[in-house]
Amino acid sequence: MQRRGDLFAGLFSAMSGPCEILLESCDEAQALRLAELAAAEVLRIEYKFSRYRDDSAVGAINAAAGAAVRVDDETARLLELAARCHALSGGRFDVTSGILRRVWKFDGGDRLPSRGQVKALLPLIGWGKVAWENPVIALPAGMEIDLGGLGKEYAADRAAELVAAAAPAAALVNLGGDLRATGPRGDGAAWRVGVEDPGREDHAERVLEMKGGGLATSGDARRFLLRDGIRYGHILNPRTGWPVRGAPRAVTVAAPTCTEAGVLATVAMLHGREAEAFLEGQGVGWWCRW
C-alpha cells in the first residue's frame, strides 16, 4: 500500500501482470481493507477461470473430453456472454480460438507456423460446434475454451463494483491496462490514465481522462511476429487461424464497463483495417494506434 498525495495505491500481481487499485476519499485502514477486497476478488476470478488448472471451472470443461458439464451460475453467465459476443460479432469473437496458441508463438521473432499446422487446428475452433444449453456445456473432444479474452476485464469490473458496494470511496482498478473506475474522483474530476502508444518510439504515453466506466486495450506492441517485412499481430482470426491483416497495433475503448470495452476493442481489432469504421458506429470513446 502506497500513499500518493491524497490517493492510496494498492499494488498486487495477478493475471500475469502488475495490478493496481487507486483509492481516495478514505483513510489508510479503509484503503487497505478495500485493496485487499479487490485483490482477493481478482485472484479468485483468475483461479476460477484459469485454463491451466484442471480444478478450475474452465479446466473442468476442457478436460471433460466431449462429456457434458453442468457449470455454476457465474461460469454460466460468462459463457452466455461469450455466446452472445460470438453472435454479435458475426463469429469474430470466439472463446474457442485460444487453441491456436499451440502453433502461434508471438515472441517478436520470425517463426510462422506452416499452413498445414494452422489448418489442422481449424476443425477444433468455432463456438458454433459447442453444445451450450445454459447451464450445461459440452465441447467436442479436442476443443478448448479460454475465457482469457473476458476474464481480466470481468475481474476489473467485479473488483471495482465490490469496492463501490463496500464503501463510498472513489476507486480505479487497473489490471495491467484494463481499467474500471467506480465513478469520477471525489471532486467530480476525471481520472487521468496514461496509455502507452506503441506507435511512438519514445514510448510516450497518451493521457486519457475517464470519469467512470471501463477502459480496455486490445493489441500489444510486444506481441507480434515479423517475417519478410510483414508484421503479424497477435489477434488471430478464428475462421482462418491467421492474424487479422491490416489491424491497428492497438485499440483502446472506453465503455460503461471494462468488459464491454474489452469486447469492443477485441472485435474492432478483428475487423482489421475496418476497425475504425466499426468503432464509429458504436457510440463509445475509442482510440486506434496504427
Looking at the Cβ atoms of 34 and 39, the one nearer to other proteins is 34
Of 102, 108, 141, whose CA–CA distance to 241 is shortest? 102
H or E segment and range at residue 232: strand 230-233
Dump the DSSP string for 252-275: EEEESSHHHHHHHHHHHHHTGGGH
Number of residues that bind other proteins (CB under 8 A): 75
Nearest approach, Cβ of residue 109 and other proteins (Å): 27
Long-range contacts of 72-78 (CB under 8 A, 24+ apart): 72/135, 73/135, 74/48, 75/48, 75/49, 75/135, 76/134, 76/135, 78/49, 78/147, 78/150, 78/151, 78/154
Under rule CB under 8 A, residue 269 binds other proteins: no
- Asked whether position 167 contacts other proteins by CB under 8 A, the answer is yes
Residue of 67, 84, 102, 111 that binds other proteins (CB under 8 A): 84
Query: Counting contacts by CB under 8 A, is residue 288 touching other proteins?
Result: yes
- DSSP letter string over 54-85? TTSHHHHHHHTTT-EEE--HHHHHHHHHHHHH
Q: How far is the CB of 290 from other proteins (least distance, A)?
A: 5
Window of 76-84, 111-119, 141-149, 222-230 that interacts with other proteins by CB under 8 A: 76-84
Report, in Å, the least distance between residue 124 CB and other proteins: 25
The pattern of x and - marking residues 169 through 208 that bind other proteins according to CB under 8 A reads xx----------xxxxxxxxx--x------------xxx-
Given a contact cutoff of 8 angstroms between Cβ atoms, the answer to whether 62 and 130 are in contact is: no
The least CB distance from residue 43 to other proteins, in Å, is 18
Q: Least CB distance from residue 214 to other proteins, whole Å?
A: 7
Residue among 104 and 287 whose Cβ is closer to other proteins: 287
Q: Provide the grid cell at 271.
A: 475487423
CA–CA dist 64, 144 (Å, integer): 10
> Is the Cβ of residue 117 or residue 282 nearer to other proteins in the bound state?
282
**Interacting residues with other proteins between 211 and 230 (CB under 8 A):** 211-214
Which residues have a Cβ under 8 Å from the Cβ of 55 and sit 6 or more positions away? none
x-or-dash pattern for other proteins, window 8-37, by CB under 8 A?
Answer: ----------------xxxx----------
